[in-house]
Structure 1
Amino acid sequence: MTHVLLEVNSLKKIYTTRFGGNPVQALVSVSFSVEQGEYIAIMGESGSGKTTLLNIIAGFDKPTSGKVLLNGREITSMNEKEISAFRRNNIGFVFQDYNLLDTFSIQDNILLPLVLAGRPYTEMYERLKPIAEKLRISDILSKYPYEVSGGQKQRAAIARAFITKPQLILADEPTGALDSHSSEELLRLFAEINNEGQTILVVTHSIKVASYAKRVLFIKDGEIFHQIYKGSMSNDEMYQKISDTLTMIATGGIRNA
């Protein structure tokens, strides 16, 4: 039986400048839902609204109107204190530039959300060990971010996102700062984690990244414009389908979904 984990209802976001310039409408009216266990990629050109959408889902930004519900809890109506606690316990975020603290060891960076949540040390280390082994970073836990590679930093950032056992993982261009080998490794890892039941929502402009997802939403001019379900397609077939779709959208060959 399917369970809707995330509901995005009629999101609109208008940015106004302090100096009375023209308001910018980043999101016009975005609605979609995500079932538990799905792996979804959101694609769109720069300025299409995809990062704004992700930030609203994560509670980093508030919409002008509309709602976001995670497992029935409305995120958009929470105050700053409520959203911080809710995000820490329910949402894992993987950033393009890792967002690791250079003055903290890799281990302390990963454990930080649990420290902030006031978890006992025994529980922290019980959670850390299997995650570090899975992500192959057990041997670098005592090192600092500036002592390890980009791929290792991103794996540490993923460990930090997973350590709270979140309902939803959000990733913003997760391979953006990685070389092709590290990118491939990360994408295989995401697919493996998703196959174990983790719900993942990734924002990307990379066809390669999106080809690993089970569904791709295309955002254009602040609206969900089209979507593709992977079904039984291979990653290569999905890559070609996404590429063709982007070309058709760019040339006006696809009508709004």
Structure 2
Amino acid sequence: MMPLLDVQHLQKTYTTRFGAHQVQALADVSFTVEPGEYVAIMGESGSGKTTLLNILAALDRSTAGEVLLGGRSLSAIREKQLAAFRRSHLGFVFQDFNLLDTFSLRDNILLPLVLAGERPAAMERKLMPLAQRLGISELLSKYPYEVSGGQKQRAAVARALITAPELILADEPTGALDSRASARLLELFEAINREGQTIVMVTHSVEAASHAGRVLFLRDGRVYHQLFREGESREHQVRRISDVLTGLTQGGEQDA
């Protein structure tokens, strides 16, 4: 089976203002994600996590290497087609929710379908089962500033899922949530993953990463190590992840 996501020798170099210096954010990153996988990406600040996620999201271009989604090279997509491609194939969940305060939760969730030109009746048929499942059906008329952080994030998840994307990309999705809302969101991610949704999540949270089936660790712009959960309890996985992170901060060597 062809991997859903195929990342091949990614490099990204930024040139500072006036070209005085070059900063290598990604040195040589390669990995694949199979359909239905749930992968967490971890690493210290400056390890390349955010740069990698932006390239996977087609929000940035790599300096070298290639990303294929469903066998299609992201670098081959023209700039004017990128927004439509992201809307059709990718779903996004951000730390700061990225909801529009002037839109109700309903309108925020439906926005990708509106932009895609779907009919109102078809949008409603997609919205209501999803809102009920996420526990926000009673909140759809409210505005983001009227609901809690956890409720905002569930609305953001609904917006990500409503287009039935091939891949969900999550950037620190629990970063702005309290422990209770974080736990509920991570349970939700596990549930939608069990139903076949592929998820790639960047996180600094050991607890969040322990819910994933696989954890990739970045160091100095490269994949340094990976852990498979393989039926381990989350408590045991938390300890294993913590051990690898300790090795990262201490500069220890692991086999990738």
Interval containing the TM-score (normalised by the shorter chain): over 0.9
Q: Secondary structure at the match of 1:183?
A: helix
Q: Secondary structure at the match of 2:173?
A: coil
CA apart distance, 1:123: 1.0
What are the Cα deviations for residues 133-192 of structure 1, in whole angstroms up to 9, with x where unaligned? 110000000000010000000000000000000000000000000000000000000000
Letter of the 2:162 counterpart: I
Q: Is the CA contact 2:55–2:61 (under 8 Å) kept in the aligned structure 1?
A: yes
Q: Secondary structure at the match of 2:44?
A: coil
Question: 1: distance between equivalents of 2:64 and 2:2?
Answer: 25
What are the Cα deviations for residues 8-28 of structure 1, in whole angstroms up to 9, with x where unaligned? 011100001232221110000
Q: TM-score, normalised by structure 2?
A: 0.98
Match of residue 54 from structure 2: 55
CA apart distance, 1:81: 1.6
Q: Does 1:249 align with 2:251?
A: no
Question: 1: distance between equivalents of 2:129 and 2:199?
Answer: 20
Tell which deviates more after alignment, 213-222 or 71-80.
71-80
Q: Secondary structure at the match of 1:76?
A: helix
Q: Does 1:180 align with 2:179?
A: yes
Q: Secondary structure at the match of 1:104?
A: coil
Tell which deviates more after alignment, 112-121 or 18-27.
18-27
Q: Does 1:12 align with 2:11?
A: yes
Q: Report matched runs for 1:60-71 at 5 Å.
A: 60-71=59-70
CA apart distance, 1:248: 2.0
Q: Secondary structure at the match of 1:4?
A: coil
Letter of the 1:9 counterpart: Q
Match of residue 240 from structure 1: 239
Match of residue 76 from structure 1: 75
Q: Is the CA contact 2:2–2:71 (under 8 Å) kept in the aligned structure 1?
A: no
Match of residue 156 from structure 1: 155
Match of residue 124 from structure 1: 123
Q: Report matched runs for 1:188-227 at 5 Å.
A: 188-227=187-226
CA apart distance, 1:3: 4.2
Match of residue 106 from structure 2: 107
Match of residue 93 from structure 1: 92
Letter of the 1:255 counterpart: Q
Letter of the 1:165 counterpart: A
Question: 2: distance between equivalents of 1:21 and 1:8?
Answer: 30
CA apart distance, 1:77: 2.4
Match of residue 29 from structure 1: 28
Q: Secondary structure at the match of 1:218?
A: strand
CA apart distance, 1:256: 4.5
Question: 2: distance between equivalents of 1:75 and 1:133?
Answer: 34
Match of residue 165 from structure 1: 164
Q: Secondary structure at the match of 2:164?
A: coil
Q: TM-score, normalised by structure 1?
A: 0.98
Gaps in structure 2 of 5+ consecutive residues: none
Q: Is the CA contact 2:41–2:216 (under 8 Å) kept in the aligned structure 1?
A: yes
Q: Secondary structure at the match of 1:25?
A: strand
Letter of the 1:6 counterpart: L
| Count, aligned residues | 256
Question: 2: distance between equivalents of 1:76 and 1:175?
Answer: 30
Q: Secondary structure at the match of 1:19?
A: helix
Q: Is the CA contact 2:67–2:74 (under 8 Å) kept in the aligned structure 1?
A: yes
Q: Secondary structure at the match of 2:19?
A: coil
